Chain A
Amino acid sequence: MSKFILARLIQVVPVLILVSILTFAGLELVPGDPVLAVIGPAQEGTQLDAADIERIKEQFGLHGSLPQRYVRYVEQVVLHFDFGTSLQSQEPVTKVIADRLPVSLWLNGLALGLSVVLGLTLGLLAGVRPGTRGDLGVTFLAVIGVAAPSFWLAIGLIILFSVELGWLPTSGWVDPLTDPWEAAKHLAMPVFVLSLGGVAVIARQTRSSVLEIRRQDYIVTARAKGLTAGAVLFRHVLKNSMLPVVTIMGLQIAALFGGSVILERLFALPGLGRLAFDATLEHDFKILQGIVFLVTIAVVTANLVTDIVYGLLDPRIRYQ
């Protein structure tokens, strides 16, 4: 097993190097003078003398040749975990991201949890009784979850639960550690909508896994031994159906971050998605650089953990 983990860790190294090159190259690709890009449109037209330009270059790490700048960027990121300074707020990028991170962790974590619980339950129900109304209902939900725009579904929920029924607030953020009940009310709609895509994918996958596994010889053996239907379902079918779900969970993390950009904007949640949206509008390339780097590292780590967990659960993977 340790060989398997080591091999997977080694595979991550080139990916990390490429992430650093891509995020570094992103800022270099900004058209025109990078100094103009970092001072932003608000100050364009301001007369800058050579000393000002040098000072700005020093401040934002734009001095020196391209390889020198890359080495300095990697040094700062790896040794000091420093992504530079926000071009708009002039605060350290790491601090700005750290301030927004808890909101995204709550939103994405709860959405991932709900995706797994709902997806597994619905997929299991549909797979155990294929062709029934319940199965058709789950298939329909899965289809809607994949095809309907999340922001459009969110608008529908706002109209129903906030405007018509008045049960839930339309937007805003309350820290769950401060006031759990209010936080639950604020997060209910965004978490539900964000989880729908994952519910759809996990339910479909679980359904087909359950259908496949129910035909296997060991299930017939388990039944022939006299095990109850519940024991067969939970001890044999569900356990083996969960394996592909582990892989999907890893893939869902990237999808969740994507979905949260739109939903954090719509529900006025001050998370990383909203930060990415604002940074795009304000051309704050340093913030975007930091977000792309950190989110990609998070996704790479999640995929690594997923692979290792999969290897632990299924010995066949380790020996491939």
Chain B
Amino acid sequence: MTEREQQPASMTQFRRLRVPKGVVIFLHDPKAKVASFILLVVIFFAAFGPTIAPFGENEQNLRASLEAPSWTHLLGTDQLGRDILTRAMYGSRVSVSVGLIVVAIAAGVALPIGLSSGYFGGWIDSILMRFVDTWISIPPIILILAIVAIAGTSLGNVMLAIGLASFPVFSRLLRALTLSLRAQDFVMAARSLGASDQRILVRHILPNTVQPLIVQGTLLVGVAVLAEAALSFLGFGAQAPQATWGNMIAEGFPVIRHSLWPTILPGVLIMVFVLAANFMGDRLRDVLDPRLRGSL
């Protein structure tokens, strides 16, 4: 038996995943290429929007209100004469932040729950999973509204609420991964060497859950961006005049009979961004974790 064959399945698997072959497959996939390009463009605008934007976020020119796209205003203007391209760039900052922060909150809440549930099992698992089952039964938007009603209306609270509403998916994933990892030989070996539960969880189990978590996190980005846009549209997220894609649709709606541009463009941006995040998640899942292919 070679040394490679003697290693635990998960270790060889994860080692194999680290080889550039997976990256090569990913980079040769047309959907992955398009999704990566779109996400990079949005992240670029989110990072450098204020520097490269042709106008100010709330720079008004009432004499140029509701203009169609032109060389001066590449994506037209809204009812206050604000440049839609500029506001879309600023809006991308909010969407990217929402995507990242919501994933961080959801993963942060889910980590202790999923790891403890899967590792310790027994009554801890029963209690934690019943809690997760209950939490998952509450429709997310209703739960988010309840949290916003308690915590107050702001973009930060909306991100917190979406994160809290989304953590059960991570918890279940982490529990399943931990359940399978704790039975592996390398965990047994660590335990027989006297490693504490905390050390086993943090040093041996947690690192092996990172890749599936990244996949799930990427898929959550799209959900989070859609939820934030809906809540901004309802008036619970970022407050006007801050530019978010949801706010832009809400502001464009009353003047839609005069100009479609302020409403159509932010919607297209949301859709394209969500599609790119979903495609990226699907492709990453195929490359990073073939075991889960098509099953989630």
Contacts and interface: CB of A to CB of B under 8 A. Distances in A.
B139 A299 contact: yes
A146 to B, nearest CB: 7
Main secondary structure of the interface of A (DSSP, over half): helix
Contacts of A296: 134, 137-139
B256 interface: yes
B148 interface: yes
Contact of B146 (A26, A144, A152, A159): A26
B63 to A, nearest CB: 26
A269 interface: no
Interface residues of B, number: 40
Interface stretch (B3-11, B43-51, B228-236): B228-236
B139 A19 contact: no
Given A279-B149, A292-B143, A303 B226 contact: no
A132 interface: no
Contacts of A281: 235
A211 to B, nearest CB: 11
Contacts of A163: 256-257
A24 interface: no
Contacts of B64: none
Most chain B CB within 10 A, of A147, A156, A262, A279, is at A147
Contact of A150 (B140, B222, B230, B294): B230
Contacts of B140: 254, 258
A292 B230 contact: no
A296 B136 CA distance: 9
Given A148-B271, A151-B249, A259-B141, 20 more contacts: A18-B131, A19-B134, A31-B150, A146-B274, A149-B230, A149-B249, A149-B267, A151-B233, A152-B271, A155-B263, A159-B260, A262-B141, A277-B145, A285-B149, A285-B150, A288-B145, A288-B149, A292-B142, A296-B138, A303-B137
Interface of B: 130-131, 133-135, 137-143, 145-146, 148-151, 222, 226, 229-230, 233-236, 246, 249, 253, 256-257, 260, 263, 267, 270-271, 274-275, 278, 294
